């Protein structure tokens, strides 16, 4: 699985921790390091850049980290076909994949510490969409998204 990651200025340290953690586990992770190319960039363009790489199929899963995880989730969800959610607990991280089939996990570096963040990433990584009763709900979300993007 190809995982892509990025963060804003509030989460540089946590991003490093997560990249190291994924590499240790043998997960192929690409750090887009948007801030390295554009100093002072705000979270919307950083999140948008990553979400576009999910949309174009370059990566299957993405992790976005900012101060709260909120802004990153909001902007990633603005890209058609990309679904993101903030998770600060393991149960939500599992459900984000199993129930919601979201490709992008967001977290807040000002909300949780590195150990919990690693555990959340681990749970999210091994979880897959389960279909079943969640399928029509996800289908409905896609249909409403189509109406919204293509009125």
CA-based nearest residue to 75, from 34, 124, 110: 34
Q: Is 7 annotated as catalytic?
A: no
**What's the closest the beta carbon of residue 23 comes to ligand RB5, in angstroms?**
24
Q: With CB under 6 A as the contact rule, which of the stretches 18-26, 50-58, 66-74, 124-132 interacts with ligand RB5?
A: 66-74
Near ligand RB5 by CB under 6 A: residue from 17, 51, 66, 82: 66
- Measured in whole angstroms, the distance separating CA 147 from the mean position of its chain's CA atoms is 24
Here's the x/- map for ligand RB5, 22-51, by CB under 6 A: it reads as ---------------------x--------
DSSP assignment of 6-52, as one string? EE-GGGHHHHHHHHHHHHHTT-EEEE--HHHHSTT--HHHHHHHHHH
DSSP character at residue 143: H
- Which residues are near ligand RB5 by CB under 6 A? 8, 10, 43, 66-68, 70-71
């Amino acid at each position: 699985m190809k995982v892509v990651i990025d963060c804003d200025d509030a989460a540089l340290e946590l991003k490093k921790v997560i990249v190291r953690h994924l590499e240790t586990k043998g997960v192929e992770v690409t750090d887009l390091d948007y801030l390295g190319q554009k100093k002072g960039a705000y979270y919307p363009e950083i999140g948008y850049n990553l979400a576009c790489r999910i949309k174009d199929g370059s990566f299957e899963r993405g992790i976005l980290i900012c101060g709260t995880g909120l802004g990153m989730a909001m902007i990633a969800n603005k890209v058609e076909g990309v679904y993101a959610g903030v998770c600060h607990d393991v149960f939500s991280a599992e459900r984000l994949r199993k129930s919601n089939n979201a490709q992008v996990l967001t977290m807040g570096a000002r909300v949780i510490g590195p150990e919990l963040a690693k555990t959340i990433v681990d749970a999210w990584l091994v979880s897959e969409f389960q279909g079943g009763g969640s399928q029509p709900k996800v289908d409905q979300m896609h249909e409403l998204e189509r109406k919204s993007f293509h009125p």
